[in-house]
Chain A
Amino acid sequence: MKHLYLTPVVLALATLLAACGSSPKSTSLLEQAHSDYRIAQSNPNVGRYAPLELKQAGDALAQADALATERASSEKIDQLAYLARQKIALTEEVAKQKMAETDVRNAGQERNQVRLDQRTNEANAANIRAEQARQVALLAINDAAQSQADTDRARQQTQAAQMDAANAQQRATQLEAQLGELSAKKTARGMVITLGDVLFGTDLSRLTSDGEASAKKLAKILELNPQRTVLIEGFADSTGTAEYNQQLSVRRAMAVQTALQTLGVGRERVVIRGYGESYPVAANDSAQNRQMNRRVEIVLSDEAGRTIAR
């Protein structure tokens, strides 16, 4: 009877003891150490950069766990748990240090690359500056060549102008000589050639052979000086009516014009005027003087073809 009572009590006690003995004793510090260790283990950088330190921390933690399994005093367990925690913390610091050192190495390479880029840029900039300087020099050379060419051209123009002037002078001299043969007179209106009465035929509309000779000389002058024109003015003496004299003076002028036209001088270069008995060169009081008044005056234009009418 007594035994029946005792058996379950003994069994319960035994179970309790066994349970207590098999379950390891733990402290809050040890649990924290485990938590820290899991975090360190899950950190890939710790596994990569601090594997040795992680192993040492794991060993330290295992020692603390061993004491816990042996159910040693909390003090002893905490001593080892504390050491394990510090070692676990160490793994993270070592990993950080190694990472930073790796960063420094990589950054050093990057820095060198940037410096290289910098130098390349500087070299490029220098090349560009040199190229610009070369362009400026080329422009300056071009400018110099241009101004040289301008100078040359100006000198040529001067020479040409001088030559023109010389030619004009020569032509003027020639003209003067030719006009001298026609006994031309220099007046305010230009060179004036006077053809006298004797140079006209009896019908007064044709020139005598001497008159023709004078007309030929004049035609030659006009041919050599194509820019010049002539104004032909006919005059009469006071014998007869003024109307008759007017017509007579026009006919004389026309005779010269016709002769010049026959010799190849265009009509447009010859202008005629009949002034009748106006503008006598002498008093109509003697036969000789009247003969002087019966005349044709030929006014030679200037170089631009301008003549000044009376």
Chain B
Amino acid sequence: MTRNSRRLMAVLVGAAATLMLGCSSLKTPATADVAVSKAAVDNAAGAGAAQYAPVELMAARDKLALANKAMSVKDYKLARDMAAQAQADAKLAQSKANSAKAQAAADAVQDDIRVLREELERNL
């Protein structure tokens, strides 16, 4: 009885451990995180981040590569972390690109106004 119960206990503990491991890996495959990060990097590149925020975009790409590498060795925690950092970097890169472009547009309009005003002065 004591031996049986001890064996049963071991089996139960082993099952629970396996379940927990399985569950945790099922619950966090990190695949979705990596996909979202890749989309964020693509968006940033499409917004002109390579031109306006090359450092952030490069960091995002490096981290995305690390996340993919971690996925291939089933290190899901590292993959998730790298994906999250890559996403944050990519979003910042995109935002920098957007603000730089908006600033350029504002400068262009101001330049336009300056030229118009000069013309106005000349015509007076």
Residues of A participating in the B interface, judged by any CB pair closer than 8 Å: 79, 82-83, 86-87, 89-90, 93-94, 96-98, 100-101, 103-104, 107-108, 110-111, 114-115, 117-118, 121-122, 125
Q: Chain B residues near A96 (CB, 8 Å)?
A: 99, 102-103
Q: Chain B residues near A125 (CB, 8 Å)?
A: 123
B120 close to chain A: CB less than 8 A: yes
> Are B110 and A107 closer than 8 Å at their CB atoms?
yes
Residue in contact with B84 in the complex, picked from A79, A90, A93, A121, CB distance below 8 Å: A79
> Are A111 and B106 closer than 8 Å at their CB atoms?
no
B117 close to chain A: CB less than 8 A: yes
Q: Chain A residues near B110 (CB, 8 Å)?
A: 103, 107
Q: Which 7 A-B pairs have the closest CB atoms?
A: A100-B102, A86-B88, A97-B99, A93-B95, A103-B106, A107-B109, A96-B99
B116 close to chain A: CB less than 8 A: yes
Given A110-B113, A117-B120, A118-B116, A94–B99 Cβ distance below 8 Å? yes
> Complex: how many Å from CA A92 to CA B116?
32
B91 close to chain A: CB less than 8 A: yes
Quick one: closest B residue to A80, CB to CB?
B84
> Are A107 and B113 closer than 8 Å at their CB atoms?
yes
> Complex: how many Å from CA A104 to CA B116?
16
Q: Chain A residues near B89 (CB, 8 Å)?
A: 86
> Are B103 and A118 closer than 8 Å at their CB atoms?
no
**Most chain A beta-carbon contacts within 10 A, residue among B81, B89, B99:** B99
> Complex: how many Å from CA A107 to CA B120?
16
> Complex: how many Å from CA A100 to CA B110?
11
> Complex: how many Å from CA A97 to CA B105?
10
B38 close to chain A: CB less than 8 A: no
A-B contacts, 9 of them at CB < 8 A, read: A90-B88, A90-B91, A97-B99, A100-B99, A100-B102, A101-B102, A104-B106, A107-B110, A114-B120
Q: Chain A residues near B85 (CB, 8 Å)?
A: 79, 82-83, 86
Interface size class of B (residues with CB under 8 A): 20 to 34
Residue in contact with B106 in the complex, picked from A83, A89, A107, A122, CB distance below 8 Å: A107
Chain B residues 65 to 124 lying within 8 A of chain A, measured CB to CB, are: 81, 84-85, 88-89, 91-92, 95-96, 98-99, 102-103, 105-106, 109-110, 112-113, 116-117, 119-120, 123-124
Q: Chain A residues near B102 (CB, 8 Å)?
A: 96-98, 100-101, 104
Beyond A90-B91, A111-B112, 6 extra complex contacts between A and B, CB < 8 Å: A94-B95, A94-B99, A96-B103, A107-B110, A114-B116, A114-B117
> Are B88 and A83 closer than 8 Å at their CB atoms?
yes
> Are A86 and B92 closer than 8 Å at their CB atoms?
yes
Given A83-B85, A121-B123, A108–B92 Cβ distance below 8 Å? no
Quick one: closest B residue to A115, CB to CB?
B116
Query: How far, in Å, is B73 (CB) from chain A's closest CB?
Result: 18
Q: Chain B residues near A83 (CB, 8 Å)?
A: 84-85, 88
Quick one: closest A residue to B102, CB to CB?
A100
> Are A118 and B106 closer than 8 Å at their CB atoms?
no
> Are B120 and A86 closer than 8 Å at their CB atoms?
no
Quick one: closest B residue to A79, CB to CB?
B81
> Complex: how many Å from CA A147 to CA B58?
88
Q: Chain B residues near A86 (CB, 8 Å)?
A: 85, 88-89, 91-92
> Complex: how many Å from CA A110 to CA B115?
13
Query: How far, in Å, is B123 (CB) from chain A's closest CB?
Result: 5
Q: Chain B residues near A79 (CB, 8 Å)?
A: 81, 84-85
**Most chain A beta-carbon contacts within 10 A, residue among B84, B89, B92:** B92
